[in-house]
Amino acid sequence: MSREIQQFREILFWPFRFEANGGGDLQKFLECSSLWHRDEDWLKRGYRCDQARPDETAYAEFVYFHPFVQRFLYSEDSSVSPMKVWRRDDIVGAEVQLADRDCPIVRLSVEQVRLFWFDLRDDHGVGILTLEVAATTPLPLSTVQNLLDQFRRVYPPYWEKGVAGRFPQWVTWETTDGSKLNCTQETFSQFWNWADKKRTYPVGKHWRSLLYGKVDPVPSWFDKLRQIEDERMPTMTWLAMDDPRQLTCGDFVRLCFADESGSSDNLPYAPTFLKNFERDYCYDRYWAHGSLDDEKSGAQSWMTTRYMNCGYAFTMVGQAGGFYTDAVSGALSHFRNHYFTMGLIAHFQKAALLSFSDCLSTDVSKPEDKGLHKNARKTLRRLIDFTDRYWFIDLSNQLQARELYSGWRQHLGLDALYAQVMDEADKLSSYLEGENEVRLQWIVGAASVVVGLLPIWGKFIEVHFGSPLCFAIINSVLFAVIVGFTYFLWRRRR
C-alpha cells in the first residue's frame, strides 16, 4: 500500500476585526456586492449554490448540539440572529505554487467560501472568512505537509534574500465563467511599505481578493481591518489513505502541527518535548496501533481513524472507503458539518476574547477627556453580552463531541484567556467605581458647603433686599444655579 494521500480536504479560518465602524462598512459592502450572497437559514444551507446539502446531513448536525447552541446557530429570523453569513459561489478552483520551485503546482477544488460576522454590539464584532478546498488528485505526503504549512499563512513570516519564507509564490483562483484571477505575491518592499505606513499586519493578495474581488483598488473599509492572531490561520484537515498505519510518529507530528515536510524517520522536535504527544494531542477512540496486515498486533481493521488537535490545527486521518469517506452521514460529513461548526465556535470565542482584551487595553490608555468612562462602560457591557450569548463550555450531549471540544478548548487556552479578560474587566470596573465614588463624594461635599451657606445668604438678601418679590426672584435664580451645577457634576460623574 502507498503512503500517498488519496483524498485531501482542508478548511481554513481567518478571524479578523475592524476599527472605527469598519464592521458596518463591511456589511454594507457585502449587502451591495454581486460577489457575496446572504445565507438566510444556516440550517438549510448548501455547500454551494449548485451543491445542495442532504436533509439527512442537516438533521444530524442539528440534533448534535445543545438547544442553546441551536438557538445561536439556527435562528429562523436571520434579521435578529447574532451570526450573519454570506457566501461566494463564483470561486470554484485554485492553483497553488508553493515556495519550493521544484514542487509541482497543487490544483484544488474550492468547495465553500463563506464569511461569518458575529455581532458584539455597538458596531463591534468579529469576522471569520472560511475557505474549504479539496485536492483534485492524490497527493504525495510531503506536498500535503508543505501545503498545510504555507497555504494558511496570511502574510510571509520572514524574508530571506528577497524571497518570502514559507509562503506560496502565487495563487490563482478559478471562477465559474472559466476566467482566472492570478495573484502573484508582492515583493518585500510592498509588504514592508504596508507594515511601515499602516502599522498593521499585511495581507497577501490572494486573501484580499477573496474578500473583495479585484485586488485594486482597495476598498476604504479594508484599511480598518485588523488581524487578530498571527499570520497562521487556524485550519482543519481531513486525509484519507490506503493504510494510515504506515505513517510514522514523525509524520503524525508534522500533520498535527501543520508543519513543513521532513524525513519520516526523524522527529521535527526533541523526543523529550514529544514524549506525551499521543496523550496530549491524539484522540484515539477509533485508532489501533499496528499494520492492517499484522494479525498479531491485535489491530482491528476498522480502527483506522485518528483525530489530532493542537488548537490551531484539527486533523483527521483515516482509511479511504466505507464510513470514513461517506459524505452524507459518515466521518467526512461530520468533518464538514459537525466538527466545522465546533471549530467555528471555538475560534470565534478566542478571536472575540483577544479583541476584548485589546479593547480594554485601548480604553485604559485613553485620558479622562477622551471618553474613557463612556468607552470603557460600553466595552464592559459588550463583554457581559458575549458571556450571555456566546460563551459555551460544551456544545453537545454526545460523549465524543464533548471530549473533542474539551481538548480543542484546552489547546486554544480559552478558559485561561477568558479568566484573564474577566480579570482585566474587573480591575477596570473597580477603577471606574472608585472614580465615581470620588466624584460623588466631591459633589456631596460641594452641595453641603452650598447648603451651609444658604442661611447666611438668606439673611444677606433679607437685610439688603427687603422687598419680598426681589427676595423670591433672587432665591429662584440661586436655586436654578445650584440645580444646574449639580446636574453638570452628575453628567461629569458619568
Query: Which residues on adjacent β-strands are paired with residue 194?
Result: none
Residues 6+ apart with CB under 8 A from 370: none
- Each residue of 336-369: pLDDT tens digit? 999 999 999 999 999 999 998 888 877 776 666 5
Residues in the chain: 494
Query: Which residue in the block uniquely carries the three cell numbers 461569518?
Result: 116
Q: Which residues of 196-227 are buried (b: 16+ CB within 10 A; e: fewer)?
A: eeeeebbbbbbbbbbbbbeeeeebebbebbeb
- Residue 266: CA count within 13 A, CB half-sphere: 6
Interatomic CA distance for residues 346 and 340, integer angstroms:
10
Mind listing the pLDDT tens digit of every residue in the chain (494 residues)? 458 999 999 999 999 998 766 778 888 888 888 899 998 888 888 887 667 889 999 999 999 999 999 999 998 776 778 899 999 999 999 999 999 877 889 999 999 999 999 988 777 889 999 999 999 999 999 999 999 999 999 999 999 988 999 999 999 999 998 899 888 888 999 999 989 998 889 999 999 999 988 756 778 888 888 999 889 999 999 999 999 999 999 999 999 999 999 999 999 999 999 999 999 999 999 998 765 555 455 556 678 999 999 999 999 999 999 999 999 999 999 999 999 999 999 999 999 999 988 888 777 766 665 566 777 778 888 888 898 889 989 999 999 999 999 999 999 999 999 999 888 888 777 777 666 666 666 666 666 766 666 666 666 666 665 566 666 666 676 667 766 766 665 555 55
478 by Cβ neighbours in 10 Å (0-12 / 13-18 / 19+) ranks as middle
